[in-house]
Structure 1
């Protein structure tokens, strides 16, 4: 099921490509010894560019004048998309492009794509020079490479000046070459293995450059323009649009992961609930895939520099077959790799269904029984519903059934777990809210003309009126934020966890003469008048999060629409928890101050922030090895402190961590054991019941 509400970052196609069985044409293997051919625009692209300009100017939620300052922003965004780490373009290239900066507005309006293609072709020329430089270095061998000098490589170059000249360019490339070799050495590769892998990697880069099409240049350029409106507005080329349409058939097969291209790497953005990758429990957002192997013994094929759709073809395959992914963990800057095994399978939609369980927590000197409903996504079978099928599946129907079951079990309270829930159907967010209130608005949608429309609770039944907690995290987005925001505004539930994603916009696909355009048409507002956009939902009780300070969330995206508010809707709250929050917060902090799982999370958060914020790495092998050993020993100490607190066997080294963690994760799933944060949410709920004595949860406050 595809949702307009999910926090896409221009990567939906590749999520679908992994999941679905759409056929991708085999790329023709070009003679990479020849120079990379020049690309030129065509008439269809020129017409499409004019249509995109007109459609965005007329229909986008954000009204942007096509003035000089915005056109200069397009120019800068385009360069950033092509060379985000400033490793290719020379200062002289930028000076040569400078006249285009002032022409882009008129060029866009008239459909003149020559400036954009001129820049794109120069980028390919520089990228080709770099790949051939690296291959020449490999031809000279790496035996005499000096890895004893106290050199450093700046790895985060987004704020660095453009390369001054050819000498500065080759100095940088030489350091990047040393870094590549050193990273492989630290992974215990022999010189022969290093040369072989890096030769394949740079040959792949050349091959990708030869396989570039004019559509690649056009799509990159048009998306640089579309991106100044907001990060969810995106142009789809005809092939992308065709695959999107094919993928709507929901023939799900693969590993279930959201991928994007970032520089030369294929990056994991998220894993799909219920999919093989999520079940394996290893692949994480931020991981970079460096090679792919088929089966237990198939050779790991290097995919750095490979086109994203070609990487997808290697990862995708028949169900029940095994694929091996060699990855650089996103949580680490040590360049060491891990190899994960994932069995491909059909992504079963029913495994994304709502589910329930009962956990036991201390309550007034006794054992309280708390019902938990886990909700991975907001889903509905639109086709079955529209055809009149009385048994069509939906989130609200399933939660209604689970609530009836939990009420019969006489639970003392309810936790709705929305962690990792990226959204889904707006209709379901509205109807689910209605299960917990008797009447009133649930969300306000404001369109691109400034008109607001309220969504209302569709019935007057309040299926559950007992005490509630809603859990969210940084990956809870869109429909999750609508529901959590409504529960907070109505005083129907305490919200616990971490700040949510902050995607409060609605997109629609519009056809063009050449491809499609996804553009933002509307914005969500809570009944209190606050937007969910950019800021998300702020919990009443905040838990530590590994996502804090990392590049996850709407507020980390360039040109995201801002947070704002409108006049509140007319609604009657049930409770005001604000007088009780200081006491609840104090008890929570007292409990978790020495709670091993919370201490572990705080330590891991500090660990990641320290190492992920590094902008330089040493090119001295001895020093780099020492830094790596220090990192790994710190991580091992953190892991062993947690294991000691649990009475588990201590690890001798980090290599044991993945396998042991996965075994323990599988056992927890079988035992349906709640994690420490869900358990704490249950205890907070019992604190709330005791503090409020339940009275305010059953009676509406008067206006």
Structure 2
């Protein structure tokens, strides 16, 4: 089955609270025996953080009563976002702190935060202890024929008024868990022990919480109000951050974060083990980890650092992940992914090229495709004077020359899933496609604006060019794509990019580090890439859910804005042909099986977003699951029949075989005959193929016949 859109998503996971990240978020107004307290180093660190935010952060916010109120709300949200642990009486007891957090924190007084944290700790211990003790009786008394429902998100609901309301909420939460396990065909006798073990593990971790856990969640509830990329890194977190940045860690090549009680995949490292395996996707939720063929360890509610330690391992060893796919409609859907751990190598991050032979308007063309997974440079080798040091620009320059020598009719730069990297390389890569000029503007918090780009005139590729982007194209990718668009140097195709247009730096603190947003990127047109990203000239259906992926999905993301543009050359009148390109693209899409398939999936996604509650009636829930599977099978078979493939009896058919079938027919509509289609490169999918058609539709604007002779000085 073609893996276009695994994110046909509805938020059906039960959002308890970030037990694992918050790790112990209890509070101590009625003090417990294990009250957590802050220390003098944390007080000094808090004062230092406030000072640096005030002096260096791009937004220049005042730490006043208004920010204090937002800080108060955000802290409660981080501790108990689903409003399932605190009671209304707790919130009323905390309310006097609402406009005092600014004054206390400026003095290094962390007491309000620790009081709230300890109360939360207390509520967690009370609730989890009660569940572990009473779970067998609770499950035994459940009636799965009753027509009752569980709300999927309670963030807009009030906190429970009393113990009776809280107990009823948790009865429904646990009942939903039991229904999920029954639908997953878990043996009845194993359900209670599994849930008891899960909640006991959470309770054990809560009991291990320490002052640094409380400090980190409290301070980051405040730093997040400045923007989502500004945060405090504890000494342990700093160590993990530095390991990840070096790309030297042996593991699966995935960046993870916590979301409620789940560990969520943020992104995959290009050419890393998980990326190569091909099943794990951004926004998938990891619920279990197994070493080799051993039994799965349930990681729901586990601290992020503990989950990471389970996933990391020796190169060549095998790890299994049990995940709730981003495409899952309910948390009843699980899949198991097998990954062999490895080290991500620089050469595997390198740009690569291939040639697409494509029939367009009854004529055969050759297009060069350059896939750029990241903007990389080997700074150490460059400093040592190594003449063969690796960089994105050096590698692409060589690939470009080879493609031109092969007589291609145009170039496609594929930036999908390229999360950025070296700003220097983004600037220099743009220089391969323009004669001279600026590439980006960088506005510092001091209001000073710096400009960077290609300073001297030199040879460059002048032929037809298209840049393919998607929602995971970010940062340096957006600078390159934005510059190509502003110079009207090529056609931008795909979906709106991520919108990461800010620059962070690391600064040392009394303990740990502060990652702080100090600057913002702007295009030469004066438009920021922040929040909005790059909007393509010709848009494809959005595979990734904007509500879950992208800068605009993050709380307190800095806004899009503009500064003065820079005078710059416009190479071709590309805007003049965009309407015609869109019309021809849409005409092809009306009959293209793969794009029809994608649109059908996106329609289902929109329908699922409207689901706000989940039935606790087992028969109703099973019917929902069958309906979901039936829709998915119908959509897949509609695509297969249109492509001349045999329909499937069920979705358990080997997906690799199905994907191979899909790729075999990816470009069949462009070929003159079936035999021509069989000769197509099987690795080139429908999105790249359609980008090729769009590029060929635009040839007239370049006024060239072939690319082979289109470099000049």
Structure 1 window deviating more from structure 2 (138-147 vs 349-358): it is: 138-147
Residues 1:680 and 2:676 aligned together: no
Q: CA deviation at 1:57?
A: 0.1
Q: CA deviation at 1:456?
A: 2.1
State whether residues 355 and 375 of structure 1, in contact with CA within 8 Å, keep that contact through their aligned partners in structure 2: yes
Residues 1:110 and 2:107 aligned together: yes
Structure 1 window deviating more from structure 2 (133-142 vs 49-58): it is: 133-142
Name the SS for the 1:578 alignment partner.
helix
State whether residues 573 and 701 of structure 2, in contact with CA within 8 Å, keep that contact through their aligned partners in structure 1: no
Partner of 1:215: 212
For the structure 1 residues 627 and 464, does the alpha-carbon distance in structure 2 shift closer, same or farther, using more than 3 Å as the test? same
For the structure 1 residues 36 and 251, does the alpha-carbon distance in structure 2 shift closer, same or farther, using more than 3 Å as the test? farther
Partner of 2:116: 119
Structure 1 distance, partners of 2:656, 2:130, is 40
Structure 2 distance, partners of 1:522, 1:384, is 28
Structure 1 distance, partners of 2:415, 2:409, is 20
State whether residues 260 and 266 of structure 1, in contact with CA within 8 Å, keep that contact through their aligned partners in structure 2: yes
Q: CA deviation at 1:117?
A: 0.7
Could you tell me which of 311, 316, 319 is aligned with 2:315?
319
Structure 2 distance, partners of 1:475, 1:616, is 30
State whether residues 84 and 158 of structure 1, in contact with CA within 8 Å, keep that contact through their aligned partners in structure 2: yes
Structure 1 distance, partners of 2:659, 2:139, is 38
Q: CA deviation at 1:655?
A: 2.6
C-alpha distance after superposition, 1:252-309 (max 9, x if no partner): 31111111111111111222110111111111112111111121x3111111111111
For the structure 1 residues 601 and 666, does the alpha-carbon distance in structure 2 shift closer, same or farther, using more than 3 Å as the test? closer
Structure 2 distance, partners of 1:690, 1:248, is 44
Structure 1 window deviating more from structure 2 (573-582 vs 132-141): it is: 132-141
State whether residues 356 and 369 of structure 2, in contact with CA within 8 Å, keep that contact through their aligned partners in structure 1: yes
Residues 1:631 and 2:641 aligned together: no
State whether residues 468 and 494 of structure 1, in contact with CA within 8 Å, keep that contact through their aligned partners in structure 2: yes
Partner of 1:421: 418
State whether residues 434 and 462 of structure 1, in contact with CA within 8 Å, keep that contact through their aligned partners in structure 2: no
Structure 2 distance, partners of 1:217, 1:665, is 50
Structure 1 window deviating more from structure 2 (360-369 vs 137-146): it is: 137-146
C-alpha distance after superposition, 1:550-572 (max 9, x if no partner): 31111111111111111111211
Pairs within 5 Å for 1:4-15: none
Pairs within 5 Å for 1:663-702: 672-690=682-700, 693-694=703-704
Name the SS for the 1:259 alignment partner.
strand
Q: CA deviation at 1:636?
A: 1.1
Could you tell me which of 463, 474, 477 is aligned with 1:466?
463
Structure 2 distance, partners of 1:450, 1:505, is 14
Partner of 2:17: none
Q: CA deviation at 1:668?
A: 10
Structure 1 distance, partners of 2:378, 2:107, is 43
Q: CA deviation at 1:659?
A: 5.0
State whether residues 89 and 123 of structure 1, in contact with CA within 8 Å, keep that contact through their aligned partners in structure 2: yes
C-alpha distance after superposition, 1:336-362 (max 9, x if no partner): 211111111222221111000010222
Could you tell me which of 294, 299, 313 is aligned with 1:303?
299
Partner of 2:677: none
Partner of 1:534: 531
Partner of 2:339: 342
For the structure 1 residues 609 and 657, does the alpha-carbon distance in structure 2 shift closer, same or farther, using more than 3 Å as the test? farther
Residues 1:622 and 2:632 aligned together: no
Q: CA deviation at 1:688?
A: 0.2
State whether residues 502 and 555 of structure 1, in contact with CA within 8 Å, keep that contact through their aligned partners in structure 2: yes
Partner of 1:225: 222
State whether residues 254 and 345 of structure 1, in contact with CA within 8 Å, keep that contact through their aligned partners in structure 2: yes
State whether residues 281 and 662 of structure 1, in contact with CA within 8 Å, keep that contact through their aligned partners in structure 2: no
Name the SS for the 1:70 alignment partner.
helix
For the structure 1 residues 144 and 659, does the alpha-carbon distance in structure 2 shift closer, same or farther, using more than 3 Å as the test? farther
Q: CA deviation at 1:661?
A: 4.8
Partner of 2:673: none
Pairs within 5 Å for 1:592-607: 592-607=589-604
C-alpha distance after superposition, 1:446-489 (max 9, x if no partner): 10111111102044223211010001111100000000000000
Partner of 2:125: 128
C-alpha distance after superposition, 1:515-564 (max 9, x if no partner): 10000111111011111011110000000012244311111111111111
Structure 2 distance, partners of 1:88, 1:457, is 56
For the structure 1 residues 493 and 444, does the alpha-carbon distance in structure 2 shift closer, same or farther, using more than 3 Å as the test? same
Partner of 2:558: 561
For the structure 1 residues 181 and 579, does the alpha-carbon distance in structure 2 shift closer, same or farther, using more than 3 Å as the test? same
Partner of 1:499: 496
Structure 1 distance, partners of 2:450, 2:701, is 37
Structure 1 distance, partners of 2:123, 2:504, is 36
Structure 2 distance, partners of 1:665, 1:68, is 58
Q: CA deviation at 1:671?
A: 5.0
Structure 2 distance, partners of 1:554, 1:153, is 30
Partner of 1:13: none
Structure 1 distance, partners of 2:338, 2:644, is 29
Structure 1 distance, partners of 2:662, 2:644, is 16
Partner of 1:521: 518
Name the SS for the 1:140 alignment partner.
helix
Pairs within 5 Å for 1:265-664: 265-295=262-292, 297-334=293-330, 335-656=332-653, 658=655, 660-661=657-658
For the structure 1 residues 214 and 664, does the alpha-carbon distance in structure 2 shift closer, same or farther, using more than 3 Å as the test? farther
- Extract unaligned runs of 5+ from structure 2: 1-22, 24-31, 667-679
Structure 2 distance, partners of 1:673, 1:169, is 53
Pairs within 5 Å for 1:83-94: 83-94=80-91
Q: CA deviation at 1:143?
A: 4.0
Name the SS for the 2:684 alignment partner.
coil
Give the structure-1-normalised TM-score. Answer: 0.91
- Extract unaligned runs of 5+ from structure 1: 1-26, 28-34
Structure 2 distance, partners of 1:666, 1:121, is 55
For the structure 1 residues 661 and 44, does the alpha-carbon distance in structure 2 shift closer, same or farther, using more than 3 Å as the test? farther
State whether residues 40 and 214 of structure 1, in contact with CA within 8 Å, keep that contact through their aligned partners in structure 2: yes
C-alpha distance after superposition, 1:70-111 (max 9, x if no partner): 110011111111111111111111100001111101011000
State whether residues 332 and 608 of structure 1, in contact with CA within 8 Å, keep that contact through their aligned partners in structure 2: no
Name the SS for the 1:604 alignment partner.
helix
Structure 2 distance, partners of 1:129, 1:325, is 31
Structure 2 distance, partners of 1:381, 1:52, is 33
Equivalent residue pairs, number: 666
For the structure 1 residues 522 and 574, does the alpha-carbon distance in structure 2 shift closer, same or farther, using more than 3 Å as the test? same
Over aligned residues, Cα RMSD in angstroms?
A: 2.2
Name the SS for the 2:628 alignment partner.
helix
Q: CA deviation at 1:673?
A: 2.7
State whether residues 66 and 99 of structure 2, in contact with CA within 8 Å, keep that contact through their aligned partners in structure 1: no
C-alpha distance after superposition, 1:606-642 (max 9, x if no partner): 1123224422000001111111110110011111222
State whether residues 324 and 341 of structure 1, in contact with CA within 8 Å, keep that contact through their aligned partners in structure 2: yes
Structure 2 distance, partners of 1:690, 1:576, is 10
Structure 2 distance, partners of 1:161, 1:305, is 23
Partner of 2:251: 254
State whether residues 651 and 657 of structure 1, in contact with CA within 8 Å, keep that contact through their aligned partners in structure 2: no
For the structure 1 residues 466 and 508, does the alpha-carbon distance in structure 2 shift closer, same or farther, using more than 3 Å as the test? same
Structure 2 distance, partners of 1:247, 1:336, is 30
State whether residues 152 and 617 of structure 1, in contact with CA within 8 Å, keep that contact through their aligned partners in structure 2: yes
Name the SS for the 2:576 alignment partner.
coil
Q: CA deviation at 1:652?
A: 2.1
Give the structure-2-normalised TM-score. Answer: 0.90
